[in-house]
Amino acid sequence: MAGKKGFIAKYFSMAGNKNSLEKMATYIAKETGRDEDVVLFGLRLFLTSFSGYVALILFAAFWGIFHYALAAAVTVSLFRVFSGGAHATSPLRCNLIGLSVFLTLGFLVKLLPQAPGPLWTATISLVGIFVIYKYVPAETPGKPISSKVQRKYLRIISFILLIAWGMGCTLALWQPTKFVTPDIILSSSLGMMWQLLTLTPIGYRIVGGMDSLLKYLTERR
């Protein structure tokens, strides 16, 4: 377990290594002609996501909830690319919040006695349509959205993804396969519920509170 923690700490430090990322972003921007801030944001997003998934995979596999936690995390990640959502104020705290949420959802799926029916995913989809219409795209500090065309595009893509997700989950519940089981659908559904929550003002306050608590715990002397 100590080896796993050391491995995870290494990747967390990579995600927070500001000077190295800035140098890399400057080099890539010069070579490609792209905006340096955009490149830097992309590098931070990639390293944060990579380190978070490394930590999640190791801990989830150790506790026997690998498939459940990963299904929730992948659902959130794919949807968040277009919808946005609440973020912590540092890559480390963002990863810690994600790690705690997805591990909790994985344990919850493992403990629940019964998988959901089609009505469950249909209800989430209907709620999601309202949330998307009202709050998407939800801006993040490193990715402001100023164009009306871009806002419309992101909202439409989010609608399409939600509808596709709802239909896919419903079909999978009627005809489960070896790899897509009702428990996996439940995991994905819980992930979607968390993602929809992070689009709302309440979700922003919850993530903000978690961020403040982690900041206090990690930065206190």
Note the pTM of the prediction, 2 decimals. Answer: 0.81
87 and 6 together in one domain: no
Please report the pLDDT score of residue 149 as a whole number: 78
Question: Over the stretch 28-85, which tens digit does the pLDDT of each residue have?
Answer: 888 887 777 777 777 877 888 888 999 999 999 999 999 999 999 999 999 998 898 9
51 and 69 together in one domain: no
82 and 121 together in one domain: yes
172 and 81 together in one domain: yes
Please report the pLDDT score of residue 179 as a whole number: 86
120 and 48 together in one domain: no
97 and 80 together in one domain: yes
Number of domains in the chain: 2
d(CA 134, CA 157): 15
Last residue of a domain, one of 62, 80, 99: 62
104 and 195 together in one domain: yes
186 and 152 together in one domain: yes
Please report the pLDDT score of residue 9 as a whole number: 47
- Structural domain for 30, as ranges: 1-62
Question: Over the stretch 72-111, which tens digit does the pLDDT of each residue have?
Answer: 999 999 999 889 899 888 888 999 999 999 999 999 999 9
- Determine which of 28-37, 197-206, 207-216 has the lowest per-residue pLDDT on average: 28-37
Please report the pLDDT score of residue 31 as a whole number: 81
10 and 113 together in one domain: no
Give 141-147's long-range contacts (Cβ < 8 A, gap of 24+): 141/87, 141/89, 142/41, 142/44, 142/45, 143/41, 143/84, 145/84
